[in-house]
Amino acid sequence: MRTILFSSQTYDRDSFLGTELPAGIELHFQSARLSLDTVALAEHHEVVCAFINDDLSAPVLERLAAGGTRLIALRSAGYNHVDLAAAKRLGLSIVRVPAYSPHAVAEHAVALILALNRRLHRAYNRTREGDFSLHGLTGFDLVGKTVGVVGTGQIGATFAKIMNGFGCRLLAYDPYPNPQVEALGARYLSLPQLLAVSQIISLHCPLNEQSKHLINRESLAHLQPGAMLINTGRGGLVDTPALIDALKDGQLGYLGLDVYEEEAQLFFEDRSDLPLQDDVLARLLTFPNVIITAHQAFLTREALDAIATTTLQNIAAWAAGTPQNQVEG
């Protein structure tokens, strides 16, 4: 079964080829992002394996179906980039990786908190230049601080457990409360209530119609002045231009992003020799209290191995007529 992996990087090749291939699966790696310009590369491939920034809109899916593709195997948990109605109409099956390593993403969120709090990025640059002064590097103890966890699925629950270990007071927001999070002593509140009393807010919810721009100008106004916001979920959870005003007036004291709403044309590529054309991202990068990483929270050996294993199992199960981890339109 011919399978093409779009947006594949060296680490994808290593993890997939390092996993025992089920019988009948033939892998082809393509570094290009799937789009209308590259969809022809998928012709005669029964399976297309796509990542988060690949274009799976109706026009692309139509071309895929016409070229013989029957299965879209996502290397991600999220599927907001897939036109599910079009896939159903075209008879394309969609499978995903519902969980790989919640620890990978949760730990990266904690890394952003620690780096922002203790100004590690600024301290690193200073000492490399021979500046050993401590001015402007004062942080705060995490113990006793109030942490708001927005979205308490597997990743959010893992993050809550880590922050509980720091001695933080936990608050949570989720339409479906998680007993594991409640067992840590977390109180579930409405989002405005959580934002109003949390000193650190971390986003771990999926992106859908209800959660798009969950953090916007109105919700940012609820924050305690100087609060910290972390987003390792999806870029579209945040109205990014609104963050700039909140940073300028001090309402937002710290910002850590691993995802960005307009990341598709930027992330996962070396663009260091090119001028940055995204004015919003360029402005964010000028703030000393902002750290942005390029969607690397998932990037651990354990997570990559789990993604490869589950994806290959999904393809084999679908081929055997016993599909698993299907996304229903």
Give average pLDDT by consecutive 10-residue segment, the chain, 329 residues. Answer: 96 94 95 96 97 96 97 93 96 94 96 98 96 96 98 97 98 97 98 97 94 96 96 96 96 97 90 92 97 96 96 96 91
Q: Which two tokens stand for residue 38?
A: 């590259």
What's the CA gap between 209 and 80, in Å, rounded? Answer: 9
CB 266 within 8 A of CB 53: no
Task: List the catalytic residue out of 234, 262, 283, 302.
Answer: 234
Known catalytic residue at 234: yes
CB 82 within 8 A of CB 74: yes
Task: List the catalytic residue out of 295, 301, 302, 328.
Answer: 295
The pLDDT assigned to 256 comes to 98
What's the CA gap between 120 and 87, in Å, rounded? Answer: 45
Torsion of CA 209, 157, 115, 112, to 10 degrees: -30
Angle subtended at Cα 84 by Cα 150 and Cα 70, rounded to the nearest 5 degrees: 130
CB 120 within 8 A of CB 143: no
The reported pTM is 0.93
What's the CA gap between 166 and 143, in Å, rounded? Answer: 6
What's the CA gap between 7 and 264, in Å, rounded? Answer: 11
What's the CA gap between 97 and 326, in Å, rounded? Answer: 9
The pLDDT assigned to 328 comes to 84
Task: DSSP letter for 61, please.
Answer: H
What's the CA gap between 21 and 55, in Å, rounded? Answer: 26
Is residue 132 helix, strand or coil? coil
The pLDDT assigned to 184 comes to 98
Known catalytic residue at 263: yes
Alpha helices in 67-119, H assignment, sequence order: 84-90, 102-117
What's the CA gap between 59 and 120, in Å, rounded? Answer: 45
Task: List the catalytic residue out of 96, 108, 119, 263.
Answer: 263
Known catalytic residue at 328: no
